[in-house]
Structure formats: C-alpha cells, structure tokens
Amino acid sequence: MFVGAVAAAAGFVGWAVAPIRLANSPLDFTVRLGSPARSAAAQIRAQGADLSPRLFYWLARLSGEGTQLKAGSYEVEQGITPWQLLRKMARGDQSLLALTVPEGWTFAQFLAAADKAPDLVHDAAGLSPRQIMQRIGAPADLDPEGEFFPDTYLYGRGSSELALLRRAYRLMQRELAQAWAGREQGLPLQDPRQALTLASMVEKETGRPGDRARIASVFVNRLRAGMPLQSDPTVIYALGSAYQGHLSHKDMQVASPYNTYVHAGLPPGPIALPGAAALQAALHPADGRALYFVARGDGSSVFSDTLAQHDAAVNRYLLQAHRASRASGASRALGAASASSGASDASASTGERRRQLSR
C-alpha cells in the first residue's frame, strides 16, 4: 500500500510538471468569473487544452492556490505545465486587449470605437447618453462630452463596455480634480466644467504640443477682454454631420450656443475629450498678451498681440499656401484645373476667417 501511495504521488507530481498538450499554440482561453478550480479546468479543456479537471482541482487544493485563481482571458504556449498554468492564473497574468482613445476624440467617436472593440460585452448598445451616464454612476443630466479621459484601456475578453466607460469617466474626474486644485489663480474660469471646456478647445486647436499653453493664453486673454473666442473647432462641433471639410461664411453664422463667433464667452460645454496636457495648458496658460493666432501650415501657429500683426501673419501664410498649391498643381498636369479651383476656395475661406477675426 505504501509503495502504491508513493507511486501515485510520483505520478501526480510527474503530471503536474509535464507539458500540457494544446490544440494550437499560442492558445487563448477564457475562464468565467466565480469558477472554482475544477470548473476552470473544464472550461480550459473545452477550449483546447488537454487538462484533467480532477487532477487540476487537487493540484490547486494541495498547493493552497485554489482560492487565488483569477477569472479572465489568458494566452499560453506549448510547453506550459499544469503547475505553471496554476501559478499563472493565481497571479492573474492575463492576456489583455487594448482600446486606444486618442486625445481630441469626441464622446461619439469613443462610443463607436468601443462598439467595434473585439470581445467586449456591448452592454451600452442601444442606451441613450443619459442612460449611459446613469449606468456608470455619473449624474444623469451631465452631458457626456469631454467627461471621459483619452487613454489606452486594457480589458479582458468578456469585459463590460459600461465598465470600460466607467473607468474612463472616473479617470477624467480624478485628472480634472487634480488639475483644478493646482490651477493658476485669477483665471476667468468659474468651475472645473469651464476648465474642461477650455481644455477641449485647446486640444482641438493645437497642431504642435508646444503651442498648447500659448493657445490657452489667447483664449484666456480674450475672455478677460470680453472678446468673442472665435474658435473654428467650436463651429465644426456645432455643425456636427453637416460639416463638409471647410467652413463657409454661412457656417460661421450657424445658430448654436457652441458657435463662439456668434456667442461671447465659452461654449456651454466641452467639444472633445481633452488629455492631461490640454488640461494643464488651460489651467496654466503661457504668459503674454497675444489675442490672435493663425496656423503656419506645418502644425505650428503664429501668435499676434494686435489685429494688424495678425492680418500680416494671415496674409503671409495665405500667400505661402497659395504658392504651394500652385506649385503642386503645376507638377500634376492632369490635376491642374482642380488644383487651381482648390486654391481659389482656400483663398476665400482663409480670407473669410481673417475678416471674421477682424470684427
């Protein structure tokens, strides 16, 4: 009997350190929440691993790891042993998927990406923005735009879309609260929501990271002077799906509280999801008296204190853009006519923007 027990023990140890046969390598599998060791092993076996649920249960029990197993998604390769698998699951060393939400996306873009994310449980599908905010523990009457932090979110297969949204919402609330607590004093901002709104405008206006604080300074200076902010991205946001890729004079007059050409002060809420750098820029704007800026065409901007300086900068970079357009058209004979037409449209659009800023 003793010899038999020793042989059984030796056989059990040998099984525990022998490689598991896998249907393919690497093998992905998912273990449901609340699964004990025997059930977890049965699930793993059903997904392509030749693993004995009975022996895995005893391995987990005898090792003391049985209560430490983590549900979720895992990836294993040929050569892994039952003991290594047990330790991997006790550590919660899961294979995770990622959803990246870039700075400057809108809430609608975030939702669309989440809806397409593989292996998420799409429990936000069909819900209104108000219902989503209620489900994630946010005030139901809070507009979701801007309230979610842009970042890369890791999730396991079978995770909840609402849970991911809840993480992004809570992270933004923490980032905003910290930024607001450390804000520069004397800013013309009444509350964190206004700071979030300004940060979203800075995010959408910025072509190069180094310009963020200077762009924020222009908006802050205009707020202090009682000047309209005249930010194109707010008009684009107001137009929504009606935006066709360029702003016309008619677009600039669109009736919307988000139109900062028509309405003074900040828009009623954010226009995008700002990142940490935009939050810091909005609450720590650069020193300076600039009231205007215009894009150079390379992602950077030129800043001006006076309208005369600004008009000169607009004319200079408009001329450069026109010359570049003509040179491009000349190099493509078949596209010369369309290139010339595009240059004319660009001239009208930029000239209109200069006149708008001159008001």
Give pairs for 59-66: CB < 8 Å, separation 24+.
59/12, 59/16, 59/83, 59/86, 60/86, 61/37, 65/90, 66/36, 66/37
Question: Cα separation of 322 and 340, whole Å?
Answer: 9
Query: In this structure, are strands 97-100 and 152-155 parallel, antiparallel, or unpaired?
Result: antiparallel
Question: Cα separation of 217 and 288, whole Å?
Answer: 7
Q: Which residues of 122-157 are buried (b: 16+ CB within 10 A; e: fewer)?
A: eebeeeeeeebbebbebeeebebbbbbbbbebebbb
| Helix, strand, or coil (residue 245) | coil
Residue 350 has a pLDDT of 34
Question: Cα separation of 12 and 58, whole Å?
Answer: 9
Residue given tokens 């099984």 in the structure block: 15
Reported as a single tens digit per residue, the pLDDT across 133-156 is 999 999 989 999 999 999 999 888
Reported as a single tens digit per residue, the pLDDT across 308-355 is 999 898 888 877 766 665 655 544 433 333 322 333 232 223 333 433
Instruction: Determine contact, residues 37/89, Cβ cutoff 8 Å.
Output: no
Number of residues that make up the chain: 359
Task: Output phi, psi for 89, to 5 deg.
Answer: -75, -30
Residue given tokens 């003991």 in the structure block: 83
Residue 337 has a pLDDT of 31
Q: What is the distance of C-alpha 213 from the center of its chain?
A: 21
User: Measured between alpha carbons, how far apart are the two ends of the chain, in Å?
Assistant: 100
Which portions of the chain are predicted below pLDDT 70? 1-8, 321-359
Residue 340 has a pLDDT of 28
Closest CA to 41 of 77, 78, 89: 89
Q: Taking all residues of the chain, what is their mean pLDDT, rounded to a whole number? A: 86
